[in-house]
Amino acid sequence: MEPQLRADHVITAECIGGNVFDELRGCLRQWDGDDLSGLFTAAPCGHVAYALARLVYTAPGFTADASGNAAEIEPIGADEFERVVAGDLHVAGGVDMYDGEALIVLGDLHANSISVDETAHIIVAGTLTTRTVWGEGDVLARNLDAEFVLGYYSAGLLGVTDTLRTRLLVNTQQHDIVIGRIEAEFVADENTYRHDSPELHRQLDELAARVPPAVVDTGDNESWTVGRVDTRALLEHVAAGGSPLVS
């Protein structure tokens, strides 16, 4: 199910260099699988280089597909991917990355949900289209289209070179986001205001008023709570086809 997006708030900011993914695409397609130092030096973004290192070290002997043709793959599950996909990747269900895994897609990535723990990485040279994104680790894309994006904890980076389009963006304290342009119905960013400030409380109260009532004040997942919203329950609701916002 494709996300249905409408932007009420548009935010622009300085971002990672727009040529990062073009250079990465070229570097990977020319990589012979041996010259790792040369590959990392050519990658202009530290997060990209780190993700590449993790990918190589967890998948010894890996080489990228040199073909210029798009590779459309529809796996049952994506939890064992430690690879570069030369073209587009279509996943019927969720893409779950953890334990140092890395997935680099040189085309577009379509999936129902994206989950990246604090040790893992997803890099998409084109557009990442999904219903939900939960990111503790690195999620990097040229464009990102989603219903609900949650930047969680402080381990990684949510980096979008061009435009992030989403109905709801929630970012917790100290999680890094570097985005060229945000088009969203509602943004709740705990980094915008001083901790425990009246402004932050008002923002979190508005968030609780706009999400489905069933995910507010549940008390079941305190570690996942942002303000009074159970974000785990909200992720599950949206991934199943529900709307992240009711007003």
Beta strands of the chain (E only): which ranges?
9-12, 83-85, 89-90, 94-97, 102-105, 109-110, 113-116, 121-129, 132-135, 138-151, 157-171, 176-189, 225-226, 229-230
Does residue 77 fall inside a structural domain? yes
DSSP secondary structure of 25-45: HHHHHH--SS-HHHHHHH---
% of the chain at pLDDT higher than 90: 22
Q: Residue range 174-201: average pLDDT?
A: 78
In one-letter notation, the amino acid at residue 227 is: G
Bridge partners of 124, per DSSP, are 105, 141
Does residue 111 fall inside a structural domain? yes
Does residue 52 fall inside a structural domain? no
Of 121-135, 140-154, 170-184, 224-238, the least confident: 170-184
For 222, counting Cβ atoms within 10 Å of its Cβ (0-12 exposed, 13-18 middle, 19+ buried), the class is: exposed
Average predicted confidence (pLDDT) for the chain: 72
What pLDDT sits at residue 91?
80
| Angle CA 156–179–106, to nearest 5 | 75
CA distance 177 to 141: 12
Residues in the chain: 247
CA distance 157 to 2: 24
Does residue 224 fall inside a structural domain? yes
Of 57-66, 81-90, 120-129, the least confident: 57-66
Does residue 27 fall inside a structural domain? no
> Total domain count for the chain?
1
Does residue 133 fall inside a structural domain? yes
Highest mean predicted confidence (pLDDT) among 13-27, 104-118, 224-238: 224-238
Q: Which domain holds residue 230?
A: 9-17+68-239
Can you give the pTM of this predicted structure?
Answer: 0.74
Query: What does the block give as tokens for 61?
Result: 């002997």
Q: What is the pLDDT of residues 6-60, one digit of tens each?
A: 545 444 443 344 455 556 556 656 655 555 455 555 554 555 555 555 554 444 4
Helix (H) or strand (E) holding 237, with range, is: helix 231-239
Does residue 135 fall inside a structural domain? yes
The alpha carbon torsion through 178, 183, 186, 191 (nearest 10 deg) reads 20
Does residue 110 fall inside a structural domain? yes
**Residue the block writes with tokens 């990228």:** 64
